[in-house]
Amino acid sequence: MKLYVLDNGYIEGSYQIFYRENEYDGGGRIVFPVNLFLIETDDAKKLLFDTGVFPGGIRAKSSSYRYQSEEQTVEKQLLRCGVVPGDIDAVILSHLHYDHAGCLFLFQGKDFYVSRAEYEAANGENPPAAYAPADYRVDGNWHLLEGDGELFPGIEAVMLPGHTPGMMGLIVHLQSGPVILTQDAVYAADNYYPKCMIPGLTMDEGSYRRSLEKVLHLQNRYHASLIFGHDAAQRKQLKMAPAYYE
């Protein structure tokens, strides 16, 4: 199995996305990366975990800005791995915010995996601002998940609500060791142990804290590595496509 980290550019937004007011002594705005993941399974399936920001820009109600070069588009990042959108067998979605579901249209008609709680929250009346319904109202074979479990051999879905009602991470069991892809269940190291700073963009703090505990439990259980959702410092240390983890 191979795990590729794809670079979908950067977002500039308020520090309050990552931190609560009066808990951050940096500038008023921060810049953070958008990470996507291509997984090639041992039986030759090609899976994409999240799809990034819509190429025309952020379609949700937001004061954030997207920075993306031509080389950071989903198509160009996949091409670095020798893959085109039509090669993707399934798309797994951590959640349906604009920076994770924005390019779902490229995979129309494919199998889509998302938690039922997330799908229902995003498609309810007046979804919160970070959702852009135009991003995820895409024809496909939607699989609505209701709990933890193996999606494909060596790939586990893990429910981590709090950031959104149906936030979901993945555990990828590589030969070199398990990797937990937290996405926005843990934005960055500051939001994880030992600091556990609670992001301003959190729908349910109690659920968020329980999900942090769950990630820590899984990390210890599997002796796993973690890749956070939007950690600019960690991004500099990661192997980026076309390099990969296996």
Do 101 and 130 touch, CB atoms closer than 8 A? no
To the nearest 10°, the Cα dihedral for 181, 37, 157, 20?
Answer: 40
- The closest of 236, 198, 193, 160 to 18, measured between CA atoms, is 198
Show me where the domains of the chain are located: 2-235
Q: pLDDT digit string (tens) for 173-228?
A: 999 999 999 999 999 999 999 999 888 888 899 999 999 999 999 999 999 999 99
Specify the pTM: 0.94
Lowest mean pLDDT among 154-168, 191-205, 230-244: 191-205
Class of the CATH domain delimited by 2-235? alpha beta
Q: Is 105 helix (H, G, I), strand (E, B) or coil?
A: helix
Cα separation, 90 vs 8, in Å, equals 19
pLDDT band per the 50, 70, 90 thresholds, residue 59: confident
Cα separation, 3 vs 5, in Å, equals 7
Q: Where are the alpha helices (DSSP H) in the chain?
A: 74-80, 98-101, 116-122, 133-136, 205-222, 232-235
pLDDT band per the 50, 70, 90 thresholds, residue 113: very high
Cα separation, 186 vs 177, in Å, equals 20
Span 143-161, mean pLDDT?
A: 97
Do 16 and 70 touch, CB atoms closer than 8 A? no
Give the model's pLDDT for residue 102.
96
pLDDT band per the 50, 70, 90 thresholds, residue 26: low
